[in-house]
Structure 1
Amino acid sequence: MNETIGYPDPGLDLSEGFKPHTSHWGVFSARLRENNRLEVRPYGGDPDPNGIIDNFPAALRHGARIAQPAIRRGWLERGPGPDDRRGRDEFVSVSWEKALDLLGGELTRIRDTRGPGAVFGGSYGWSSAGRFHHAQSQVHRFLNMAMGGYVRSVNSYSSGASSVLLPQILAGYEEITKHNVTWEQIATESEIVLAFGGMALKNSMVAGGSISKHVERGAMEAARRRGCEFILVSPLRDDMPAEAGAEWLTATPGTDTALMMGIVHTLVGEGLHDQAFLDRYTEGWPVFLRYLNGEADGQPKDAEWAASICGIDASTIRTLARRLAGRRALITVSHSMQRAEHGEQPVWMGMVLAAALGQIGLPGGGYAYSLGAIGYYGRRVNAVPGPTLGQGRNGVADFIPVARIADMLLNPGATYRYNGATRTYPDIRLVYWAGGNPFHHHQDLNRLRKAFARLDTLVVHELAWTATARHADIVLPSTMTLEREDIGYSSNDPLMVAMHQIAEPYGLARDDYDIFADLAERLGARDAFTEGRTSQQWLRHLYEPTRASLATQGLAAPSFEEFWESGSLVVPQHPDDGGKLRRFREDPVARPLPTPSGRIEIFSAKIAGHGDADCPGHPVWLEKTDTPKAASPLFLVANQPTTRLHSQLDFGGHSTEAKHRGREVARMNPRDAEPRGIADGDIIRLFNSRGACLAAVRVTEAIAAGIIQLPTGAWYDPMDPEDEAPLCVHGNPNVLTRDIGTSSFAQGCTGQLTTVEVERFNGNLPPIRAFDPV
């Protein structure tokens, strides 16, 4: 993994007319043949290429693409205002001139009568691996320059609880994920890895920005050959690859905190914990110990107590504690653990377990939050800056936690708790969304539909007719990444890629930048937004800091023309030094952590001072309010998909080939399928009090009993949009998930876990219309 500067990169084969490009799921090259036939091939230097690149050929000219600007008929005829016809009204195709004139007038009305605080800048999502045509940067820059700002969101659906918690108890989120334990260390140093929620390759195969080499499978295989033991705690067997040879423990979903407590209680009771480490490096251990031993509430959190909650027998828990003690042990906690009610608790308790073992800060040991969740976690950091488009200054201070958008739209003026403060939801009249699909990310979609109905105007830039686009008032067709030039880059990947244009834009689609430039002109802000540059001039401008930094370091610093012609550039990376946690371990006095105490906070006086009962000052076991019962007897695990990134290009070949009879595929154990008369390949109906969806089913022992797993990202496809809670015929699990926060402390997303009932679907099978043109 040691990379050196040099270009052209030998792994990028540009022969036979192939051109360089990249994506969140891997670097590749592509060419367009006769009849718009697209060919793609993965980067030759990637030891484990991701098959998601095979979504591109069918997606490029798919009928789901948006060919022309469109206005919802009700908005066009009656003007802006709340309307429950969103999502079921027809659209009228218009010219670019008319669409931009209408939108420019509406933005001016909102700005001049309501102010920028009535605008929510959406664009939550992964958009493009290119750093200039990054939709989130483009829309936020436009709103800042042309509108004076916007109400923004903070944190993410993936890590809403942990990103608020970790900086207060250990270190900054970026430090923990990007400057901590690496795959190199696991391959060479780790002796035992206990992975709560696993390290699924389907997650680490994607990255923010570009990714050139998928190293996770190889690192786990190398560690195993060396003798490292992997232990997976998850309801899904494939949450760790076969190459890891992991032991599989199936705890009851949502009970990992109790399991961790049972392990720590055993360590302490048998004198296997590292008291010297706890004394020197942590804050508040005695407070937590009183809770652990039952002095605070009369209930010791011993192995027997944990077994009664998590379903793993007490002897296994005690044996596991003994296996961890005295070894280079790594505790990992996945994103999925905290995407549930009380999601802060397993993140915090996993850190306490690592601290009790005394391994934090050691190579290949300690605590790694969500290692394996995203491709750039666990890698070295680049030693030069990458291209970044400035977004300007936001004149609006207001924000919401990202997963609280429906709450905000439904309850303007209401108060809520977040990070120790009481905040007020703003009154949003216009939402501008460019990049991302809330009908993938968000929960309880029937509630989200009602929230969007409250708006005066919803504007969406999109390349295809997603459910979000179908709920918009103004839809502006944007180009696909293959249809424009850009620079692909990630701060944790050494390969910078010149993203050449592969195909002409579909229909009348335009780059987001050109749309915003023309729109900014209508609001008197074109010069501020463009700074007088074309897209090509921006690429040269954004490349310059990288070139200058290389030159300053005495390294080869190719001109933009040389970089563009070669197709790629390998940049230097910092050494694998363990970051702040390593430095803290070496000298906790001179190099304290950025926590209130400067130490690892097992007990946080700051969080305790908030007074929020659902997230007190140290890890606790809190019962869930959504557990299996007669009406909804199965846990639903709504995790990330394997064949696409979130919902992106769901209509691509790699994604659609994995469906069965057009439906997303759910998985359940034979012990749950057989009593319900369900056989492998059947179409099933999943339902609870919030909604229902259809899915195909695979019956398999690779999932624990009592669980049904249905990945997110199938485009929402209601059979009868006029219904209050229409049946999604395609298999979107977010018609079933709950729209509540993890706690009043972090307000993170809880979409990973809920409860449902399942039955065989025996009616006439409705058609899939999710990918039909509008």
Structure 2
Amino acid sequence: MKKIYRSACPLDCYASCGLLIYTENGRVTGIKGDPEHPLTRGKVCGKARKHLERLYSPERILYPMVKEGSDWRRIQWNEALDIWARKLEEIKRQYGTGAVLYHDASGSNGVLRGLGSRFFNVYGGVSIPEGSLCWASGKAAQAVDFGGHQAHEWDDLENSRNIFLWGRDPGRTNIHLLQYLKRAAAKGARLISVNPVRVQTGVTGTWHVYPRPGTDGALALGMAHQIIAEGLIDKAFVEKYTKGYAEFAALVKEFPPEKVAGICDIPAEEIKLLARTYAGGGPSAIMFGYGMQRYTNSGRTVRCIDALAAITGNIGVPGGGANYVHQHWKDFFTDLSGAEFARAGRTFPWPALARRVMEADDPPVRSIVVTRSNPVTQLPDTNKVLQAFRAVDFVVAIEFFINDTAAEADLFLPCTTFLEDEDVVVSSWNNYVSYMPRVIEPLGESKSDVDIFTALARRMGFLDFGFHSSQEWLERALSRAASNGIDLERLKEGPARNPAAPRIAWGDRKFPTPSGKYELYSEKAVEKGLEPLPTYVPPQMLSRETENFPLYLLTPHSGRTIHSQFWNLIPDETLGSLPAVEMHPQTAAGTGVNAGDRVWVESSQGRLQGILYTVDDIRPGVVRIYQGRWASQNGGVNFLTPDAVSDLGSGSCYYDCRCRVYRCHD
């Protein structure tokens, strides 16, 4: 019997695309875009279509396994849960619950996929990462500046006269934004990309600006200097809605375009023109990506860019905004985390997690549990990560495949995909919530996160966990939203927009900061270890001796994968035997390597082999290797990246990395 189900993609990206799932006789036969989804309107990327291939992949593990020596032994669920429960009880008795590290991320989004946190809070509270490998620095910076997080609806770009894509590459990571950029351009908007890489905007005539990596904050201050010098500020907004303008105006006198040109390697006249374009041509929108905040100076950088919007009045107006992320879902769902049950616990900065695990002694980390993530591939400084995982007694991986992390595990538990259990999913970059139904029964012996943690809680007698069905949990999660007419039955009819989300960010000009204003001068920033004003401090890599490592390493997202997901589904003939190492022809010539050479890329953390390709879409002096390829596939770019922690929000510093490239002779 043929059926069609409306669903949504659970991947952690900008869209959470609406999907149509086709089934026949209990088997998924196709996945297409849902043309009735109000945002994505039937368009999906190749990653969404990979869900079907992953579902039925012959590499997918569909039964529990325990490692004995270096070999896996297939076991039944009862034995697997008994082993895990005994370990947790033993660790709690000997060391306390903080000796367990729970590593959960957003590899597969959904309200119920986060119930592992509830289990470990009921257990007593454990060690968890704080910050993020993704967005933490910019998020923390906007909390300082605005007091919270809001973003404009995407279609508001049609009201913009200028759109600055600052570190954002929509062609690879946000394809649904392209249609809005094209519409805006058709109405006369100008697109400006600020990025060491030429990004894909879909708009002919995009103005590409290529700053030296890690210098975006200086560029923003140089623009602010010129805006103030030419009297292009919005005086009414500045006087009524900002705190600290006089101090900020004094600070940016130290950043004239001529000085900034030397920092950013951009001509002073181009910096002046950028300033006039942003401030003098009608409403201007900034669309942040995450690239510019993967350095040690990331919090400062985002504060500097935010300040441009504040001094020009591009806040709270159609076509404006400093759009980074929103937290419109914060009060939408009822909290299921069970935080009230935790009596202990601690946090480690996420980028330095491996180092902190090995340093911990009160208590030591004796077990790591991993869900919805692949930290051995994705954490920086892979050599250190492997040491940390191998130093603990017991690692549990809840996964689909034996990826780099699962290979280090002692217990493997097979989980379901979003097609095999129901959930509700949202995105932090748009305002739609969607229901994901179970469209087929779980394959093999795989279980949902809800079923796994419920069964473990029963075994351990954790009554406070609550023994509910998926539907009952979802009804509880939506109990607050139900007062606004969005309950589970409503979502089964199709996606719904969050009624509390504004179309224009900060349209009421009410900022939940201590002053009630946008804060150019912030005591909160001082409390967090920064200067009170947005300023530029060079990233660590620019302060280091560069003779041994003269090149900048960038490790962005590939358009065909998301982090480490789906790399194992790329055919060998397409994947290639080694990662692609890309650089500008000018850089290759100066380095003494040629296209097609097998090369070593080396940093102070480690080295990696690859095949050299010359490309013209990155600035000279930069090396690009796409992140996510597994070490077991001769990948593992994070063998090269540092485990430094950013200046704000405990963010990652993947791009704060210098390297050298040389031909392999072995």
Q: Same fold (TM over 0.5)?
A: yes
Residue 513 (structure 1) aligned to one of 441, 446, 450: 450
Moved more, 402-411 or 16-25: 16-25
Secondary structure in 1 matching 2:136: coil
Q: Give the corresponding residue for 1:78.
A: none
Q: Quickly say closer, same or farther: Cα 1:153–1:675, change in 2 above 3 A.
A: closer
Take 2:80 and 2:324, find their aligned partners in 1: how far apart are those partners?
45
Structure 1: unaligned runs, 5 residues or longer: 1-14, 75-88, 206-213, 294-299, 371-376, 414-424, 552-556, 585-590, 718-728, 764-774
1:710-769 CA-partner distances (Å, limit 9, x unpaired): 12111122xxxxxxxxxxx633221101001112x5332101341112234465xxxxxx
Secondary structure in 1 matching 2:157: helix
In the alignment, is residue 196 of structure 1 matched against residue 121 of structure 2?
A: no
Secondary structure in 1 matching 2:419: helix
Take 1:200 and 1:563, find their aligned partners in 2: how far apart are those partners?
28
Q: Give the corresponding residue for 1:286.
A: 246
User: How many angstroms does 1:360 deviate by?
Assistant: 2.0
Whether the 8 Å CA contact 1:383–1:574 is kept in 2: the answer is no
Secondary structure in 2 matching 1:17: strand
Take 2:268 and 2:183, find their aligned partners in 1: how far apart are those partners?
32
Residue 465 (structure 2) aligned to one of 529, 536, 544: 529
Q: Give the corresponding residue for 2:358.
A: 410
Q: Give the corresponding residue for 1:672.
A: 587
User: How many angstroms does 1:550 deviate by?
Assistant: 2.1
Q: Give the corresponding residue for 1:227.
A: 188
Whether the 8 Å CA contact 2:192–2:209 is kept in 1: the answer is yes
Q: Give the corresponding residue for 2:378.
A: 441
Take 2:331 and 2:548, find their aligned partners in 1: how far apart are those partners?
56
Take 2:425 and 2:526, find their aligned partners in 1: how far apart are those partners?
43
Whether the 8 Å CA contact 1:157–1:748 is kept in 2: the answer is yes
Provide the aligned C-alpha RMSD in A: 3.1
Take 1:460 and 1:496, find their aligned partners in 2: how far apart are those partners?
28
Q: Give the corresponding residue for 1:138.
A: 115
Q: Give the corresponding residue for 1:643.
A: 560
Q: Quickly say closer, same or farther: Cα 1:35–1:272, change in 2 above 3 A.
A: closer
In the alignment, is residue 499 of structure 1 matched against residue 437 of structure 2?
A: yes
Q: Quickly say closer, same or farther: Cα 1:91–1:271, change in 2 above 3 A.
A: same
Superposition map of 1:165-314 within 5 A: 165-172=141-148, 175-176=149-150, 180-187=151-158, 189-205=159-175, 214=176, 216-238=177-199, 240-243=200-203, 245-293=205-253, 300-314=254-268
1:158-214 CA-partner distances (Å, limit 9, x unpaired): 122223232222221xx23xxx33322211x21112332134243335xxxxxxxx3
Q: Give the corresponding residue for 1:58.
A: 53
Take 2:185 and 2:74, find their aligned partners in 1: how far apart are those partners?
58
In the alignment, is residue 359 of structure 1 matched against residue 336 of structure 2?
A: no
Q: Give the corresponding residue for 2:83.
A: 102
User: How many angstroms does 1:633 deviate by?
Assistant: 2.0
1:541-567 CA-partner distances (Å, limit 9, x unpaired): 65666566428xxxxx8x84x975x6x
Whether the 8 Å CA contact 1:496–1:571 is kept in 2: the answer is no
1:495-515 CA-partner distances (Å, limit 9, x unpaired): 63342333541x432222222
Take 2:431 and 2:174, find their aligned partners in 1: how far apart are those partners?
13
User: How many angstroms does 1:278 deviate by?
Assistant: 2.7
TM-score with structure 2 setting the length: 0.89
Secondary structure in 2 matching 1:693: strand
Whether the 8 Å CA contact 1:232–1:246 is kept in 2: the answer is yes
1:606-641 CA-partner distances (Å, limit 9, x unpaired): 43356x4xx322222223332482322221111122
Take 1:17 and 1:144, find their aligned partners in 2: how far apart are those partners?
40
User: How many angstroms does 1:107 deviate by?
Assistant: 0.5
Q: Quick one: which amino acid aligns to residue 148 of structure 1?
A: G
Q: Quickly say closer, same or farther: Cα 1:234–1:313, change in 2 above 3 A.
A: same
Take 2:426 and 2:219, find their aligned partners in 1: how far apart are those partners?
40
In the alignment, is residue 594 of structure 1 matched against residue 512 of structure 2?
A: yes
Take 1:760 and 1:399, find their aligned partners in 2: how far apart are those partners?
42
Take 1:471 and 1:383, find their aligned partners in 2: how far apart are those partners?
35
User: How many angstroms does 1:464 deviate by?
Assistant: 0.9
TM-score with structure 1 setting the length: 0.77
Q: Quickly say closer, same or farther: Cα 1:658–1:405, change in 2 above 3 A.
A: farther
Q: Give the corresponding residue for 1:399.
A: 347
Q: Give the corresponding residue for 1:630.
A: 547
Residue 714 (structure 1) aligned to one of 629, 638, 643: 629
Q: Quick one: which amino acid aligns to residue 104 of structure 1?
A: A
Moved more, 50-59 or 25-34: 25-34
Take 1:572 and 1:159, find their aligned partners in 2: how far apart are those partners?
22
User: How many angstroms does 1:699 deviate by?
Assistant: 2.2
Take 2:321 and 2:470, find their aligned partners in 1: how far apart are those partners?
45
Q: Quick one: which amino acid aligns to residue 401 of structure 2?
A: A
Q: Quickly say closer, same or farther: Cα 1:246–1:140, change in 2 above 3 A.
A: same
Q: Quick one: which amino acid aligns to residue 737 of structure 1?
A: T
Whether the 8 Å CA contact 2:162–2:285 is kept in 1: the answer is yes
User: How many angstroms does 1:258 deviate by?
Assistant: 1.4
User: How many angstroms does 1:583 deviate by?
Assistant: 1.2
Secondary structure in 2 matching 1:72: strand
Identity of aligned residues (%): 25
1:74-101 CA-partner distances (Å, limit 9, x unpaired): 5xxxxxxxxxxxxxx4333333222221
Q: Quick one: which amino acid aligns to residue 60 of structure 1?
A: L
Take 1:681 and 1:56, find their aligned partners in 2: how far apart are those partners?
33
Q: Give the corresponding residue for 1:315.
A: 269
Q: Quick one: which amino acid aligns to residue 449 of structure 1?
A: L
In the alignment, is residue 159 of structure 1 matched against residue 135 of structure 2?
A: yes
Q: Quick one: which amino acid aligns to residue 51 of structure 1?
A: G
User: How many angstroms does 1:538 deviate by?
Assistant: 3.9
Residue 65 (structure 2) aligned to one of 70, 73, 76: 70
Take 2:329 and 2:456, find their aligned partners in 1: how far apart are those partners?
36
Secondary structure in 2 matching 1:127: coil
Residue 732 (structure 1) aligned to one of 621, 626, 636: 636
Secondary structure in 2 matching 1:290: helix
Secondary structure in 1 matching 2:507: helix
Take 2:56 and 2:501, find their aligned partners in 1: how far apart are those partners?
44
How many equivalent residue pairs? 652
Whether the 8 Å CA contact 1:691–1:736 is kept in 2: the answer is yes
User: How many angstroms does 1:288 deviate by?
Assistant: 2.9
User: How many angstroms does 1:310 deviate by?
Assistant: 0.6
Whether the 8 Å CA contact 1:445–1:734 is kept in 2: the answer is yes
Q: Give the corresponding residue for 2:407.
A: 470
Take 2:214 and 2:227, find their aligned partners in 1: how far apart are those partners?
22
Residue 31 (structure 2) aligned to one of 19, 40, 53: 40
Take 1:490 and 1:257, find their aligned partners in 2: how far apart are those partners?
27
Residue 690 (structure 1) aligned to one of 585, 589, 605: 605
Take 2:410 and 2:330, find their aligned partners in 1: how far apart are those partners?
44
Whether the 8 Å CA contact 1:440–1:646 is kept in 2: the answer is no
Secondary structure in 2 matching 1:55: helix
Whether the 8 Å CA contact 1:260–1:350 is kept in 2: the answer is yes
In the alignment, is residue 21 of structure 1 matched against residue 4 of structure 2?
A: no
User: How many angstroms does 1:387 deviate by?
Assistant: 8.0
